[in-house]
Every structure is written in C-alpha cells, then in structure tokens.
Structure 1
Amino acid sequence: MGVSSVYHDYSSFHNGTTFASAFDNFNQLPELNFVEKVWGSYYYYMGNDLFATGLLFFLTHELFYFGRCLPWVIIDRIPYFRKWKIQDEKLPSDKEQWECLKSVLTSHFLVEAFPIWFFHPLCQKIGISFQVPFPKITEMLFQWALFFVLEDAWHYWLHRGLHYGVFYKYIHKQHHRYAAPFGLTAEYAHPIEVALLGMGTVGIPIVWCIFTGNLHLFTVSIWIILRLFQAVDAHSGYEFPWSLHNFLPFWAGADHHDEHHHHFVGSYASSFRWWDYFLDTEAGPKGKARREGKSLASGSKAQKLEKKTV
C-alpha cells in the first residue's frame, strides 16, 4: 500500500489498516470538518490515489444516477401521482424501463468507465487539487453556478446541432425513442452523444482549471451530482406545484424538456430557459403562441407604418 498525497503531514498519525483507524487519525485534526475528514480518510485508506479517484467517481455516478432515478420509477407505479404526469396517457411499461436500464448500464460500463478510471492523472497534470482542506464554500458556490451557466450554453448549441440531418438520424434519434421521457432516459443515448454532451459536464471544469489553476476534485464531484440530478429530474415527466421553475422562472425543469421530447424539436437547453426564450426555440403550445403573437405584432406594426407613408 502506498501513501496518499491527500494531506501534507502524517507525522502524528498512528499505524492502522482499516478505514476506522484512518478516520481516527484524521479526526485528530481540528482544522478539518467532518466531510474533509471522511474524504482524507478514504484516500489515506485506499493508498492509491489513481484507483481511489477512479472508484470514487464511478461509484458516485452509479449511486447518484440510479438513486435519483429510483423515486421516479416508484412514482410511475403509484396512481396518486398521475395528476402531475405531463403526458398522463403515456406511462413507461416495465419492459421499457428494463430495456432502458440495460442500455444505460451498458453505456456506463463500456463507454464511460474507461475515461473515469484515468481521470486522476489528468487532474495531476492540469492542477485539479484533491487535498484537504477543501476550498471555501463561497468559492465552490461560485464555480458550481458558473458551471451550470456554461454547461447550459454548451448543451443548447450541441443539442440543437444534433437535430440537423445526419446528426439526428444516426446519433440523436436514439435519445428520442421515448416521446414521453422518464427518469432513466436521461442517459439513454448514442455513445457519441454521451461523449459530446458529457464534455459540457466534465470538459468545462477541466478548461476552467487549465485557465485558472483553481479547482478542487470535491467541487467537481458535487457538480457532477448536481448535474445528474438536474438531468434525471428534467426527464422525469412530472410537473409539480413545488417544481423548482415555479420559484425560479428561468429554471428549465421537466415541463420544458418534456415538450422537447413530445414535439421532437425546440427547448434545447438543459438547465435554463433563456437561450430558448431569446432565440425563439421554445417547444410546445406556449412557444408557438409566443411566436405567433410576435408575428402578429410585427405585422400590425408594418401595417401602421405603411398607412403613415401613404
């Protein structure tokens, strides 16, 4: 077993071979909070930083993705929640859920697993830190907010591009197999699409660190969890009175993305509504009504101008 670089001074640590003994060592450091102690103990106990990061990110992805999907699978089977189903006549069958699950698992193990296991050397090369203590919470909050905004822009333009010609036919069409999405379909996609749109989630923090030299692996971990939750919830197919966009009008949410799947075009953004709003690509009846309203207003204005010039 090697020695982890997660902490700078092990001189006061006692020997131990269990996670509990590793945590007992880190628990003696008053400058660390509980989460930092658990993080440090994990890396110290594993003794191999490359393997520890790979396992951490793979398990984080699996546990939080499927953990967030599970409530929606249960809700789909409870009639009480039907009144909040956006496309209430289209419930996923057990067969559809099972086929989707198999496809997503195949993608996770055959497409995403390999780069995850080699993420740590990349972190070392570009300067993503994994040591304790963590950065200040204000710094992490700023980076999470920035990543959401930048990923949304990346997602909008890449997603919109995937709806053109051969890109849709050979790549994006797979994701549109289900006109009424459900939680598990968030990552049901062609491997090329997984890689392209996944770059918005992973690539943006990497580019940020290359330019700033200021990023922590814990920040990246939480960002990935938040992004997973956003993606799964957007595909849930449910619109509740307590849905986030009812409190933050610029948040996209399930009703925004459900319209995209229902009509196959429009509403391309992931987290926010502003790109679709300002570029007139909102899907569904509301988007259509807004465009027609603008067209009528524009026509009326042109008629008035014409009368003035006569």
Structure 2
Amino acid sequence: MSSVYYDYSTFSDGRTFTEIYQNFNQLENLNIIEKLWGSYYYYMGNDLFATGLLFFLTHELFYFGRCLPWAIIDRIPYFRRWKIQDEKIPSDIEQWECLKSVLTSHFLVEAFPIWFFHPLCQKIGISYQVPFPKLPDMLLQWAVFFVLEDTWHYWFHRGLHYGVFYKYIHKQHHRYAAPFGLAAEYAHPIEVALLGLGTVGIPIVWCLITGNLHLFTVSIWIILRLFQAVDSHSGYEFPWSLHNFLPFWAGADHHDEHHHYFIGGYSSSFRWWDYVLGTEAGPKGKKLREDRYKKQI
C-alpha cells in the first residue's frame, strides 16, 4: 500500500481509480490536486513505479505538448511576421529528424535515471505525501531554482563553446541556426546529462541543505523549465512575449541570436549574466560592448 497518506482508517475498499478518489474526496484538508495526487499513488500501489511513471509521462506530455503549438505555427504563413529569422522555416524533414533524435535521447538517456528518482527522494528526504507544502514555500523554491539553474546553465553552456567541447559535444545542438521548439532537447547525450543536472540537481542540493522539498514542487519546476526551454527555441518574437514585460527574462529573441551567431547569449532564463559579463549575442550585444568601451576611454 502507498505511503502517500498517513491515515487510511476511514477509507472503504476501493479498486478503481474513481472509488479510490471518492475516499480521498472525504478528506476536507486536501484540495483537488492533492486528492488526485493521493489517489494516483494509492491506485498504483507501488510508490517507486508510480513516481517513475509520473515523471516520465510528465516529461513526455509537457515537452511534446508544448512543442506541438510551435510546430503548427511553423506551418501557418500568418505567423511569419513574428518569426525572428523569417527566411528559415524548419522543413518537415528537419522536424522529423529532430523528433527521432529527441525520442531516442528520452528513452535511452533520460528514462533510466527517472526510474531511480524515487529511492533517491526517500534517501534524502524529498516528500511525496499529501498534503502539499504551502504555496508561498513552493513559489520561493521555484524562484530560487530558476535563478540557480540559470547560473549553472550559463557557465556550463559557455564552457561547451570552447574547443573540443564544442566540436564533439555542443556542435550537435547548433545544427539548426534558426531554432524551433522541438530542438530544445536536440543535443548530445553528454550535454543532455550535464545541463539537465542543473534542472534536477539543484532541487536535490536544496533538499540536502534545507530538508524541505516536495515531489510536487519538483514536478511543477520541471514543467516550468520545459516550457521555458521550448519557448526560448521557438524562434518567434511576439508583442506579448514575456520579456517585453519582464526585461530581465531571456526569451526567444535572446536564444535565437545565440543560435544565429553561435557565440554569446549563454543563459537559459535570464539576461543578467550575459549583460554583466559582456557576452550578449548579436548586433545589439556588440553595440552595447562598444558603448561600454567608449565610456571607459
């Protein structure tokens, strides 16, 4: 029986998911998401398998689910006015080749460690029980994860642009000078593991230091990070794009210039590392560096 909840004394015998949900629905201290979460773990009956399946399906559904709208937009001429490199539309063949490579990576590189995540959670104290932590606690953790992951990504991504690291590892990701959503995880297995460690490893370190982290928080963090990665590779700049309202947010224009010019623009979510260290890509970055230099002389 699952350890997702501490007291099943009021539960009736339930075999279907609906019957199990009715048991959790009696618990007034749980919200609907917590009830669904608890019902899922109880229904699966094996917490290790439940976590592995949950994280694998979450990754696949939200990654490809977020890629699909961009793939459709690429086929609709109306949206070309917002395409950053409007002369470079990914062909069906490019999309298909990219899809096959990404799927291979998901099943041969990422699937294996996902199935061992639950024992790690138990060992270091990542909770998966209901109820969940309070929303302010989760908001704080998501904000910290975004900032720390961006730092990790900047330095390791920048390192992958040097010499043999670029030639034998990172060059694969730069096959597409005009990125598209599906290409977000088109990368060498070593790069997938190295940069992916920033996404998964930072919450692990957070838990080791604070002893306070929930698996639901981690799952939502991964979804947010997937959306950020796919959107930054979309190749589209809209008037309603997030960086137009949050100037420090990187967005598609920031990462598109990185693919276009191959150097600069190494951050994932924010612009401040590239701004402070003078590594912004493209003509705007060049002009900014020149203006800084003129002020110094």
Q: Which TM-score band (shorter chain)?
A: over 0.9
> CA shift at 1:296, angstroms?
2.0
DSSP-derived class of the 2:105 partner: helix
Counterpart Cα distance in 1 of 2:19 and 2:117: 28
Task: Specify the alignment match of 1:304 in structure 2.
Answer: none
Task: Specify the alignment match of 2:109 in structure 1.
Answer: 111
Counterpart Cα distance in 1 of 2:295 and 2:152: 32
Q: Which runs of 5+ in 1 are unaligned?
A: 300-310
> CA shift at 1:298, angstroms?
2.0
Tell me the amino acid that sits aligned with residue 155 of structure 1: H
Counterpart Cα distance in 2 of 1:22 and 1:222: 24
- In the alignment, structure 1 residue 197 sits paired with structure 2 residue 195: yes
Tell me the amino acid that sits aligned with residue 291 of structure 1: R
> CA shift at 1:160, angstroms?
0.2
Q: Taking structure 1 as the reference length, what is the TM-score of the superposition?
A: 0.95
Tell me the amino acid that sits aligned with residue 32 of structure 1: L
Counterpart Cα distance in 1 of 2:37 and 2:14: 17
> CA shift at 1:297, angstroms?
2.2
> Deviations along 1:140-177, whole A, 9 cap, x unmatched?
00000000000000000000000000000000000000
Which of 247, 271, 275 is the equivalent residue of 2:245? 247
Q: After the TM superposition, which segments of 4 or more aligned residues of structure 1 sit over 3 Å from their partners?
A: none
Counterpart Cα distance in 2 of 1:124 and 1:296: 56
> Deviations along 1:15-41, whole A, 9 cap, x unmatched?
111100110000000000000000000
> CA shift at 1:293, angstroms?
1.1
Bigger CA radius of gyration: 1
Counterpart Cα distance in 2 of 1:221 and 1:137: 14
Counterpart Cα distance in 1 of 2:292 and 2:18: 65
The percentage of aligned residue pairs carrying the same residue is 84
Cα-Cα RMSD: 0.4
Task: Specify the alignment match of 1:126 in structure 2.
Answer: 124
- In the alignment, structure 1 residue 206 sits paired with structure 2 residue 204: yes
Tell me the amino acid that sits aligned with residue 156 of structure 2: L
Which of 167, 171, 174 is the equivalent residue of 2:169? 171
Task: Specify the alignment match of 2:30 in structure 1.
Answer: 32
How many correspondences in the alignment? 297
Task: Specify the alignment match of 1:228 in structure 2.
Answer: 226
Task: Specify the alignment match of 1:57 in structure 2.
Answer: 55
Task: Specify the alignment match of 2:287 in structure 1.
Answer: 289
Q: Which runs of 5+ in 2 are unaligned?
A: none
Which of 144, 147, 152 is the equivalent residue of 1:146? 144
> Deviations along 1:69-108, whole A, 9 cap, x unmatched?
0000000000000000000000000000000000000000
> CA shift at 1:12, angstroms?
0.7
